[in-house]
Structure 1
Amino acid sequence: MQLCNITRSFLGKIIEIPTNKQKNTSKLHIQGRFFNFEILQNFFPMVRLLLCFLILCISCTTEVFPKVGYQQKILLGIDVLVRDDFKILYGKRVGLLTNSASRSSSKKMTVEYFVNNPKFTLNAIFTPEHGFFTTVPAGKYVPDDSLYGVPIFSLYGNNRKPTPYQMSLVDIVVVDLQDIGVRSYTFISTLYKVMEACADANIPLVILDRPNPLGGNLVDGNVLEPQWASFVGIVPIPYLHGCTIGEIAFMINEEGWLKSNGVTKKCDLTIVKMENWKRQMNWEDTNLEWFQTSPNIKSVDAIRGIAMFGVLGELGLFNLGVGTDLPFQVFSIRNVNVKKLEKLVSELKFDGVAFINKEKQKHLEKEHNTFLIKFAKNKECKYYTFGMTLLFEIRKAFPHLFSYERLKSRRIEMFKKVTGTSVLFDSLIQGDETEYFNYLNKGLDEFLKLRSKYLLYK
């Protein structure tokens, strides 16, 4: 494709080859190279065309043409820190919030750059939910540990916030976490608690920024109501916020959302920005490899799946492939009319999302009424709106699934926490379609205006 585009542009140059009436020697400039066409004028037109094509091949092999699309290598925050020789950490005792999914563009773990670094001392490693190796199931206790002789303090174990003792071990804290762009994913809550601890201890915080794998323009869902703040939604942002972790930290710090013991605080925040990342990029555009951030987020399609189906999973009514090789990429409901469900799904037109019937997927044939979900890579899909629309349509088609007797109270409570409101659950159960859909993107316009002040990338 690249060669074809170059060829088309080059053929436009061929007609500019001088005639005998012009100077005997002429040169064509191609990105710093000159080619002599004096001899070419004596060949038949077809031969000249072939020689021009050979010149093109030589040029292509040395990459002298401008690159098309997203060809520039993205430098992550960690890449920029390494390139700049860790200057902001010189001589300091460092604490690092990270896990094994946090890597440079060359796939080296961030912690490997920090261990035994002669420029500073790594005194503490902090880890979020799922532990350093990202293998602990969701919601499960993560114990303290050690790595390379450095203590690992779990922030999903005995405490969610670094203790005063842990903070006394460091002069500065660095955060390098690959978030997934979904409000209920707890990495943002862990970031919030670390910011809180840094503000309390008057210790600087450095964020090594990373891409939002759903892109920087996808913003979808209602803004969380403050009274529903929890560890699965700690700040008033939409379910899909379209920000990098650095932008979220910037927003938290400047909007007065950071509170400790009821007092509004700010931390001394530095964000090491990425280079060459654009907001319109999806993950595949970055040419970066995805590393599992938790047991069920093994791929970017799993992120698209949790963005669409994660809220639905809280009710416990559906099989979403959690615990399989395709987490959040299958969909099934037991004990409902098969033909009715197939008709419902076929009539829903979600641009960029395809439901493939299980009959065409032999490896899924053990599941009843199962659909394999395929996501387009080049679409900015409103995954949250799609998923919540599907949920309401299922409520209309199969109301018996949504009785209070069938739903467990702890699941109802978690659904409200994850959606950031009680309105959506109440209107779902009552079948109030107008209130339900009016609320799906409540507060979104105001958030977009607020967000614009904190965007670090175009």
Structure 2
Amino acid sequence: MRVYPGLEILLKEGLLKNKKIGLITNHTGVNFDLESNYHLMLAEGYKITALFAPEHGIYGDHPDGQYVSSTSDATTGIPIYSLYGATQKPTKQMLKNVEALVFDIQDIGARYYTYMSTMILSMEAASEWGIQFVVLDRPNPIDGLRVEGNVPSLSWISPVCYAPITIRHGMTAGEISLFMSAQKNLSAPTVIPMEGWRRSMLFSETGFPWVPTSPSASSLEMALLYPGTCLIEGTNVSEGRGTSVPFQVLGAPWIDALDLSKAVNALNLPGIKARPVHFRPSYSKWAGNICQGIQIHIFEPNVVRPVETGVRLLFTLRDLYPENFEVTPPGPNGKHFLDLLCGGAQLTDALKHDSSPDRLLDTWNKEAQDFTSKREDFLIY
């Protein structure tokens, strides 16, 4: 028993064969045998007139945040239009030979990931120009049951906080497309559902091999921690970029690994344990410097609460290292990156003024409960 993604259902049933297709995809758009979606579709006689690239590019070879250039695919000659650069929404010119705009990308299940932002902007373009929008659905790799974190106000929407949904949302791309089409009053998308997926499933239960969803998404363990450890990106502590296990290790030159591991383990956070580590990032924060910190190991994946874990990690770092720990300063837009990730300043303010994260987490838990009810009408599985 395994899960059959929307791509395989599309091919099995021969759907959309009469359409000129624009395909929004990347290296994760594969079948069970790890064959690329557009090569499979072309072999079956589909007419693909354009490819569209999200962050990290069609081939997954661009680092985080680096603009992607428009080009053409070397094997097929199909034009590749970048949706992660000066243009983030398909233009009328890009869509001139497109009758169905199809999205097929594996998401990670956290609101910070920009792939869903790309999907939503593409839905808007399709709606504006009267083009059918289709989602080939894929699993939420960190399950479809658990919901954690806050719901941002619309004034904070950005590529790293793309919708009024929780940080860990427990939805698939298809479900998010239905939710956002209702929110934005867009033309309803066509979702080609998976077969065999259940909401309780982690990606390891789908029968599918893990294809890194981005250069730093090395494993399912990383994906499970990412909704929480991504918050470290908004501080002067390394989140492990430049190591083999980003978002699983964190540290800085001024941290004592033993002290931090003892403090984190004393929190008794569900499903995880911290191990003291030393590491030297090859790039990003503290590149070339010996850092001390922790690696987070998952013992019980079904009970891990990554958002709570991330928030409590930040408070622990603040309390242990008040002279060194900092939220990174505001960028050119006047906003802290931590605030952009969170969709508001609640966490930054709590780190400044609250003795513990309990009040903030209580508020976020209430928002998560409300969102769990709100999403019900849009769930497919």
TM normalised by structure 2 equals 0.91
More off after superposition, 373-382 vs 121-130: 373-382
| Deviation by residue 1:248-268 (Cα, 9 ceiling, x = unmatched) | 1011112xx22xxxxxx3124
Equivalent residue number for residue 11 of structure 2: 82
CA displacement, residues 192-244 of structure 1 (integer Å, 9 cap, x when unaligned) = 00000010001111110000000111211011121111111121000000001
Distance 2:165 2:311 in 1: 17
Counterpart amino acid of residue 231 in structure 2: V
Match of 1:162 among 58, 70, 90: 90
2:193 alignment partner AA: K
Separation in 2 of the partners of 1:427 and 1:395?
A: 11
| Other-structure match for 2:284 | none
Counterpart-to-counterpart distance in 2, 1:235 and 1:452: 16
Answering whether residue 56 of structure 2 is matched by residue 136 of structure 1, we say no
Deviation at 1:337, TM superposition (A): 4.7
Cα distance per residue 1:269-319 (max 9 Å; x no partner): 11111111111111111121111221111221221232221012221x222
Greater shift, 299-308 or 211-220, is seen at 299-308
Equivalent residue pairs, number: 370
Consecutive unaligned residues in structure 1, runs of 5 or more: 1-71, 259-264
Instruction: For residue 399 of structure 1, give the secondary structure of its aligned residue in structure 2.
Output: coil
Task: Identify which of 96, 100, 122 aligns with 1:194.
Answer: 122
Q: Kindly indicate whether residue 293 of structure 2 is the aligned counterpart of residue 370 of structure 1.
A: yes
User: What is the aligned counterpart of 1:383 among 303, 306, 324?
Assistant: 306
Higher relative contact order (CA 8 A, sep 6+): 2
Q: Distance in 2 between matches of 1:437 and 1:92?
A: 48
SS in structure 2 at match of 1:210? coil
Answering whether residue 216 of structure 2 is matched by residue 290 of structure 1, we say: no
1:431 is the counterpart of 2:354: yes
| Kept in 2: contact 1:183–1:239 (CA 8 A) | yes
SS in 2 for 1:165: coil
Of 149-158 and 301-310, the range deviating more from structure 2: 301-310
Displacement after TM superposition at 1:346 (Å): 2.8
- 1:309 correspondence with 2:229: yes
Which secondary structure state, in structure 2, belongs to the residue aligned with residue 343 of structure 1?
helix
- Are 2:136 and 2:174, in contact at CA under 8 Å, matched by a contact in 1? yes
Give 1:99 shift: 0.6
Is the 1:215–1:281 contact (alpha carbons within 8 Å) kept by the matching residues of 2? yes
Equivalent in the alignment of 1:34: none
1:223–1:441 CA contact under 8 A, matched in 2: no
User: Conserved in 1, the CA contact under 8 Å of 2:273 and 2:296?
Assistant: yes
User: CA contact under 8 A between 1:116 and 1:122: conserved in structure 2?
Assistant: no
Structure with greater helix percent: 1
The answer to whether residue 220 in structure 2 is matched with residue 300 in structure 1 is: yes
The 1-side partners of 2:42 and 2:323 are apart by 56
> Which secondary structure does the structure 1 equivalent of 2:95 belong to?
helix
Aligned to 1:217: 145
List aligned pairs for 1:216-295, cutoff 5 A: 216-254=144-182, 257-258=183-184, 265-295=185-215
The 8 Å contact of residues 224 and 301 in structure 2, kept in 1 or not, is answered as: no
1:122 aligns with 2:48: yes
Match for 1:357 among 263, 276, 280?
A: 276
Residue in 2 aligned with 1:103? 30
Secondary structure at the counterpart of residue 79 of structure 2: strand
Q: Is the 8 A contact 2:255 2:293 kept in 1?
A: no
Partner Cα separation in structure 2 for residue 241 and residue 396 of structure 1: 29
Contact 1:180 1:212 in 2 (8 A): yes
Deviations 1:144-203 (A, max 9, x none): 111111000010023000001111210111110100000010011000000000100011
- Aligned to 2:93, the other structure's residue is in SS state helix
Deviation at 1:453, TM superposition (A): 1.1
Greater mean alpha carbon deviation, residues 296-305 or residues 328-337? 328-337
**What is the rounded CA distance, in whole Å, between the counterparts of 2:167 and 2:53 in structure 1?**
23
Higher mean Cα deviation, 226-235 or 185-194? 226-235
| Separation in 1, partners of 2:301, 2:160 | 28
- Which amino acid counterpart does residue 329 of structure 1 have in structure 2? Q
1:452 to 365, 370, 376: 376
Give the counterpart letter for 1:305 in structure 2: L
Larger Rg: 1
Taking the aligned partners of 1:76 and 1:281, their CA distance within structure 2 comes to 14
Deviations 1:374-424 (A, max 9, x none): 123642321011110121122223222356xx7422296211010111121
Gaps (5+ residues) in structure 2? 280-288
User: RMSD of aligned C-alpha atoms?
Assistant: 2.3
Identical-residue share of aligned pairs (%) = 30
Instruction: Work out the CA distance in 2 between the residues paired with 1:378 and 1:341.
Output: 22
* Equivalent residue number for residue 94 of structure 1: 21
